[in-house]
Chains A and B, each alone.
Chain A
């Protein structure tokens, strides 16, 4: 090994003495996926001043309240003892290192579509984070959702493992947008209505629901002109995903503001445009999420 090479290694060593995550391109790539996948939002209890990724954030659903786990690299309370294989199995198969099924409140039905390269990078990013020792509350579920076997049957019905497959008939940008929306950003986990068993309703892709997490009404984001966002242009949707401002000047609130603040606004403009192109190319579904008897008049688009 030449002297120069040694010096270079020495310099690199010094660099890493101060933890500078982004110095490693793999970690930077992982951070990008971490933003796109919105890990931060659920795994950080921001409302109570929780540390990043230390978990404890509540997610209220019709099945009860889930409390997110600690995914910092702490050995006792986080994922510090996990191997990369454990991590891959969690995201691709929805199984814990001990082999238990995860509840689909962890959106592995989407993350299973992430490609190997991005998962490897995401793992590198998570490992590079500061460990936090924090034990979180157990899920507080309704009786019928408690048995883990319930999750096994659920997966049999609604979970299809496997990486995202490109559609050869569509453009590269469209496929990139589809990959980001379906595998990483997991838009459908909130925006697609679910049946009584919590499975995604077919034919209702992105059509919105009145029974969103935390008792929120989740809008229809299909390009239906009356009940969806069919009047938005690709550029407007891309801008919204970056800034949170809707074409009418209203701003994103609550859950979506969080998704934008901690995630989407960090994405490249090309990627946001790709997501917008993909979303607005989907089949429009006429489905109003507003109160019965309250017609979605033109004026209400502005509320």
Chain B
């Protein structure tokens, strides 16, 4: 790679960075919605993967901790995925999220607590209770989706 190429690369990278910073500060609602949907999808995927291991459908016992840690990380701040202006467009989020925000926050905390309880069981290898803790998480997800998500549009 010659000098010109390297300079060119630095220039392009600098431009991208310069462009990227202000873009984050004024994120488009559509992008926030897409981001939120991707995070939610990843949560579902890790939950289903953890469930398959816990129910003994598959082996992969060594990976159970990884799935649960990913869930812990992504459920730490669910309300943060729902800023005020992300309530229109291609979203199934119901207005009630912002109207009954205190309750919504409570539900999100419940999910976080239930995921932490599952993580704790996995850390101390309390396999007797994996099923029950897992079901608590699934119930918590369902409870919130029941009241705050519109069915597929």
A248–B45 touching, CB < 8 Å:
yes
Question: What residues of chain A lie closer than 8 Å to B46, measured between beta carbons?
Answer: 249
Pick out which of these stretches binds chain A: B1-9, B112-120, B122-130, B136-144: B136-144
| B99 CB-CB contact with A under 8 Å | no
- Cα A212 to Cα B149 in complex, Å, equals 16
Given contacts A257-B145, A302-B41, contact A251 B138 (CB under 8 A): yes
A250 within 8 A of B: yes
Residues of B within 8 A of A247 (CB): 48
Q: Given A245-B142, A251-B141, A303-B37, do A218 and B48 touch, yes or no (CB 8 Å)?
A: no
Q: B47 at the A/B interface (Cβ < 8 Å)?
A: yes
Q: Which of A249, A260, A290 contacts B47 (CB 8 A)?
A: A249
Bound together, the chains give a CA A246 to CA B141 distance in angstroms of 12
CA distance A247 to B141 in the complex (A): 14
Q: Establish whether residues B48 and A248, one from each chain, have CB atoms under 8 Å apart when the complex forms.
A: yes
B106 at the interface (CB under 8 A from A): no
- How many residues from A make CB contacts under 8 Å with B? 28
> Which of A248, A261, A303 interacts with B142 by CB under 8 Å?
A261
6 contacts between A and B (CB under 8 A): A216-B150, A219-B152, A245-B51, A250-B44, A257-B145, A261-B146
B residues at A contact (CB < 8 Å): 37, 41, 43-49, 51, 92, 135, 138-139, 141-143, 145-146, 149-153
How many A-B residue pairs have C-beta atoms within 8 angstroms? Tell me.
Answer: 77
A260 to B139: give the CA distance in the assembly, Å: 11
Tell me which of A216, A219, A254, A291 contacts B145 (CB under 8 A).
A254
| Nearest-neighbor residue (CB-CB) of B50 within chain A | A249
Whether B146 lies near A249 (C-beta < 8 A) is: no
A residues contacting B by CB (< 8 A) are: 212, 216-219, 243-258, 260-261, 289-291, 302-303
Residues A254 and B138 in contact, CB atoms below 8 Å apart: no
> 3 nearest interchain CB pairs?
A249-B48, A249-B44, A257-B146
State the CA gap A105–B143 with chains docked (Å).
26
Residues of A within 8 A of B149 (CB): 253-254
The CA of A105 and the CA of B72, in the complex, are separated in Å by: 43
Residues in A with CB closer than 8 Å to B143 are 257
Partner of A251, one of B45, B142, B152, B153: B142
Give the residue among A212, A216, A219, A253 with the most B Cβ atoms within 10 A.
A253
Residues B45 and A253 in contact, CB atoms below 8 Å apart:
no
CB pair A243–B150 under 8 Å, yes or no, is no
Chain A residues whose C-beta falls within 8 Å of the C-beta of B135 in the assembled complex: 243
Given A248-B45, A254-B145, answer yes or no on A217-B51 (Cβ-Cβ < 8 Å). no
Return A170 CB to nearest CB of chain B, in Å: 28
A248-B45, A250-B44, A251-B141 given as contacts; is B153 within 8 A of A291 (CB)? yes
Inter-chain contact A257/B153, CB cutoff 8 Å: no
Given A245-B51, A258-B146, A261-B142: A253 touches B151 (CB 8 Å cut-off): yes
